[in-house]
Homo-oligomer: A and B are copies of this chain.
Amino acid sequence: MTAEIITIGDEILIGQIVDTNSAYISEKLNAIGVRVGEIVSVSDNRAHILDTLKQASLRADILILTGGLGPTKDDITKHILAEFTGAKDWVLHQPSLAVVEEIITRRGLPMNELNRWQAMLPDTCEVLLNRLGTAPGMWFNYRGKVIVSMPGVPFEMQYIMQEVVEKLKTVFQLPPIYHKTITTYGIPESLLAERLASWEEKLPPHIKLAYLPNPQTGVRLRFSVYEPDSETANEVARQIEKLQNLLGNAIYGEGTDTLEIVLSRLLKEKNATLATAESCTGGKIASMITSVSGSSAYFRGGIIAYDNEVKINILGVDKTIIETHGAVSLEVVEQMALGARKTLCSDYAIATSGIAGPNGGTSQKPVGLVCIAVATPRGVISEQVNFTGNRPQIIERSAACALNLLRLELLK
């Protein structure tokens, strides 16, 4: 079973946005045993889109389109799909109209003809209800193929894609694939590959291993078994046990686990609370922690101490220590963590101070130098790390590193 993905819109072709949708869709399709043969981006041009549809429908069983569904006149996908599938009429889809009306009303705006038009769909399609936006998805059964059209806004596409995946599983006989992913932090890909080389050589050939590196959050290891049987899950679990012996605490979770989700579990288990004191990460750590639903159960709050006066007045950092060691130092960051723990009345606290760049570096304290501390009921620990990358990368890497340091403390 093969699919092709067609993304429509000039934004991608002029380099204004990066196409993240295709990777998302590919991953979801692969997980249910659909192979993606080609991904193509084309402009908002009628002839080009039609030609691409024709070519792709000659090769693939499933065509997935994203983009080109907005209410303005440069969005033409709906018209082209109506023409391509031989639609005879436009049909008002009441549930979609209700969503459009609700969204528009909630924004305090009057409905207009363009809004209403979004709920008009070709009579050749089944509607994939979009509860999160004004452009519905469409499912066409066309000459033994399936053509799906979704809006290009990532979270709307992701919402509709859930229904598409379920529908594809019922329409097609899909060969199952068994996937299991282990998440690691702290060992770069090349070193990880080296450390796992002899274990990897002994992997049974039907268990495929892929390294999925992410410079911010670490390397994920994905096991895949095509045509799995009743023994597959146990077989992979035994390999993961071996992996745990090799990697220890570098493994932090599985599947879609992130450091902040794992921390959420650990803090709840311990019935412990957390606070943050951030300088160079500027709120990024707190933002990651509070991205987890239910974080108010353990996260008390944080201080973003960008200015030294905030470090001194609110976190109680000793002014002379800043003068002696500089704001970016283990001494200061330890006091920040201890100060946050005390001021915000938490069991644990994370603190960061560093140089995110691009300016502000010196030969002694270059851009990328970051000090991280974790205060615990037992005291305070700290470390100094040199990160590479641009400003957002240094911030993200520092935040992940700090979360991991707290994780290791919580595991003790």
Residues of A within 8 A of B (CB): 10-20, 22-30, 35-43, 48, 52, 70-74, 103-104, 106-107, 109, 112, 114-115, 118, 132-134, 153, 155, 179, 181, 188-191, 193-194, 209-213, 215, 222, 276, 278, 281-287, 289-291, 293-296, 299-307, 309-310, 314, 343-345, 356-360, 386, 388-393, 395
* Contact B19 A359, beta carbon cutoff 8 Å: no
A sample of 8 cross-chain residue pairs with beta-carbon separation below 8 angstroms, ordered by A number, consists of: A15-B26, A19-B39, A37-B42, A40-B40, A70-B190, A71-B193, A283-B304, A303-B304
Q: Is B191 touching A112 in the complex (CB atoms < 8 A)?
A: yes
Query: Taking CB as reference atom, which chain B residue is nearest A29?
Result: B15
Contact among B17, B37, B40, B301 for A303, CB-based, below 8 A = B301
* A283–B304 alpha-carbon span in the complex (Å): 8
The answer on a CB contact under 8 Å between A289 and B282 is yes
Contact residues in B for A16 (Cβ distance below 8 Å): 23, 27, 181, 210, 212, 222
- The complex places the Cα of A137 from the Cα of B115 at a distance, in Å, of 49
- Inter-subunit contact A309/B72 (CB<8 Å): no
Contacts of A191 on B, CB cut-off 8 Å?
Answer: 109, 112
Known contacts A15-B26, A132-B390, A291-B391; can you find 5 more A-B pairs with CB under 8 A?
Answer: A15-B22, A37-B43, A39-B40, A155-B389, A296-B360
**In the docked arrangement, what's the CA distance between A14 and B31, Å?**
9
A13-B36, A307-B300 known; A190-B26 Cβ under 8 A: no
The 7 nearest A-B residue pairs measured at CB: A282-B290, A15-B27, A283-B286, A15-B26, A283-B283, A283-B287, A301-B310
Q: How far is the CA of A209 from the CA of B74 in the complex (A)?
A: 9
Please report the C-alpha to C-alpha distance between residue A13 and residue B289 in the assembled complex, in whole angstroms. 30
Contact indicator B304/A310 (Cβ below 8 Å): no
Kindly identify which residue among B17, B23, B285, B293 contacts A23, using a CB–CB cutoff of 8 Å: B17
A390-B155 contact given A40-B39, A114-B190, CB 8 Å threshold: yes
Cβ B343 vs Cβ A314 within 8 A? yes
Partner of A290, one of B212, B283, B301: B283
In the bound complex, how far is the Cα of B300 from the Cα of A379, in angstroms?
Answer: 28
Q: Would you give the shortest CB distance from A343 to chain B, in whole angstroms?
A: 7
CB < 8 Å neighbour of A357 from B18, B71, B293, B344 = B293
Bound form: Cα–Cα A315–B256 in Å: 36
A300's nearest neighbour on chain B, judged by CB, is B307
Closest to A108 in B: B386
Q: Nearest residue in B to A213 (C-beta to C-beta)?
A: B70
Interchain CA distance A20-B20 in the complex, whole Å: 9
- Report A161 CB to chain B, min CB distance, Å: 12
- Min CB–CB distance A394 → chain B (angstroms): 11
Contacts of A41 in B (CB 8 A): 22, 38-40
Report which of B296, B309, B359 forms a contact with A307, defined as CB distance below 8 A.
Answer: B296
**A303: B residues at CB distance < 8 A:** 301-304, 314
Give the docked Cα–Cα distance between A190 and B110 (Å).
Answer: 11
Out of B43, B287, B386, B393, which one reaches A287, CB within 8 Å? Answer: B287
For A10, give the chain B residue with the smallest CB separation. Answer: B210
Question: How close is A18's CB to chain B, nearest CB, in angstroms?
Answer: 4
